[in-house]
Structure 1
């Protein structure tokens, strides 16, 4: 049985050497099974004891148990070593100098600003110039120059914020820029005017006393309602990245004649009966527009017998609410990071 004892000793030495070579736990456990498993190397050697004498069984069995304990300890030590090495490697990967200043999280533009920039880019590609609107203007530019008469209800205190001095009105509409642009530019004129406007209104989910508008003005010879339709449909199709059509309903605005209310086809509808955006109608109310009133063209220094034009204006806040399904206009003025981080 000396050969059996020699085989055990040889197995122990070979196993100790092999254990140290492993670099991951999975392979280490697989090797352990080849030694201690049902058909493992140590198990197969011990099967040869069936023909040994009681004294030999006692001696070799004792040696086998010692080898099993030694190798089990070696396996455990190697497993711990591999685990420590893995943790050390992870620490090296995640290490950072705590004395360095932390990276500041990059913010994003406000959703209103994002949409305004998108619209400006669309109109710039169509040959329009962009002019920033005034926030404080005069009664003349805000009302008289755009054909809003002295007795018009928009001039009342309950609708307008009045100030003292020559510039005595907080702009109630971006139309206050029309006269300035017409007087300082030659035809053809293609302009959009984004800006903040102010209304003396109660604040609720769909109304604000401070909000954003975008005005559009085109003046040239032979401008007609078809040009207006094409312009608005092009803008909306670009914004929603799909073909959008519009419909026009008669409307009254002092600075255009004829005036129209413009609705656009719902870009979200799959089944109109279940659409929450258009409420099943297939159309979304959007803006006021029309061909520029001859009085406005004349006041801007152009002959209305020669030049015609169109104008439109819409609330940017409302458009962004439609785009993103925002239920309350007040969110735009509330610096809640949970809302702003979504854009």
Structure 2
């Protein structure tokens, strides 16, 4: 008798599909309530023989679990619908917050540098990060014995001897060579990009970093044009009143060459660890394009002159935000990157 009832009710539970929460509540009262079907079956179960109890006990428990599972399934679904309707309908509830993203600090500085030079008429040029010996060294007047060609300074992909060498570019000057080879003066362009040097990683150095180089070639370009261009750049980037000085230097691809310093933006020239207590910080190298470089690229050095410069984006960012460890730029530490959250994408 009990077994027949369980079989009948079990089929009814399988086919049960309530249309709303009210029908589900009726189901609960009918099967799981204190005066429901399952309660009544357990009362009948007390009257059967011990032999029948061993069989029916398991069947009755499974039937109870079936009813409870069916009720839980639809209750969860109706509760979710009710919460959604409540949330969508009540405009006084607080909104769900979301995390605001930000640009990487190096991207912010890169874009700011590009914007300044664009206003001066410079265009943006790009080139490959894997370069041959000609574009990375030879065309730029690097002698064969120059230390930059050694294995300890450059990441070589294919190292033979001379023109067949293939390496990760050590500067974006290779983009300048490609521009001069494939076009005709005048040129006025900047070359932002990632470069690679075989250096030990520390707070002050990394095996890869980012540069922005610039090139201007035309007739009658002078060192005075170079100085005025870079002076304007510094005033735009760091603010009016920032002092500038040029110190003689040497680069294979420029002659004369100079390094440009600015008054320390952190201590305002008083002296600190960032400027090594000198009041000055070097931010870029520059000079007049060597005539040999012009001739290597098919440009008449007697008719055209030009200047070039290059700076590390990490160095500019260090001075802008007082970041003392270069490794922070490439570690993807969210705690560090969140400091720039005010710069919305």
Normalised by the size of structure 2, how large is the TM-score? 0.68
Match of 1:164 among 134, 145, 158: 158
Structure 2 residue matching 1:342: 3-state secondary structure: helix
CA displacement at 1:92 relative to structure 2: 6.4
Provide the aligned C-alpha RMSD in A. Answer: 1.9
Q: Output aligned runs, 1:264-275, within 5 Å.
A: 264-270=262-268, 272-273=269-270, 275=272
Structure 2 residue matching 1:252: 3-state secondary structure: strand
8 Å contact kept, 1:273–1:279: no
CA displacement at 1:278 relative to structure 2: 2.9
Moved over 4 A (4+): none
CA displacement at 1:274 relative to structure 2: 5.3
CA displacement at 1:131 relative to structure 2: 0.9
Structure 1 residue matching 2:156: 3-state secondary structure: coil
Match of 2:106 among 108, 112, 131: 112
CA displacement at 1:197 relative to structure 2: 0.4
Deviations 1:62-86 (A, max 9, x none): xxxxxxxxxxxxxxxxxxxxxxxxx
Match of 1:206 in 2: 204
Whole-angstrom CA distance in 1 between matches of 2:104 and 2:98: 18
Match of 1:143 in 2: 137
Match of 1:301 in 2: 298
Match of 1:314 in 2: 311
CA displacement at 1:275 relative to structure 2: 4.4
8 Å contact kept, 1:233–1:246: yes
CA displacement at 1:177 relative to structure 2: 1.2
Structure 1: stretches of 5+ with no match in the other structure: 1-90, 97-101
8 Å contact kept, 2:266–2:319: no
Match of 1:94 in 2: 93
Normalised by the size of structure 1, how large is the TM-score? 0.68
CA displacement at 1:176 relative to structure 2: 1.0
8 Å contact kept, 1:136–1:167: no
Structure 2: stretches of 5+ with no match in the other structure: 1-89, 341-345
Asked if 1:283 corresponds to 2:280, the answer is yes
Match of 1:177 in 2: 175
Match of 2:149 in 1: 155
Q: Which has the larger radius of gyration?
A: 1
- Deviating more after overlay: 162-171 vs 306-315: 162-171
8 Å contact kept, 1:266–1:284: yes
8 Å contact kept, 2:244–2:263: yes
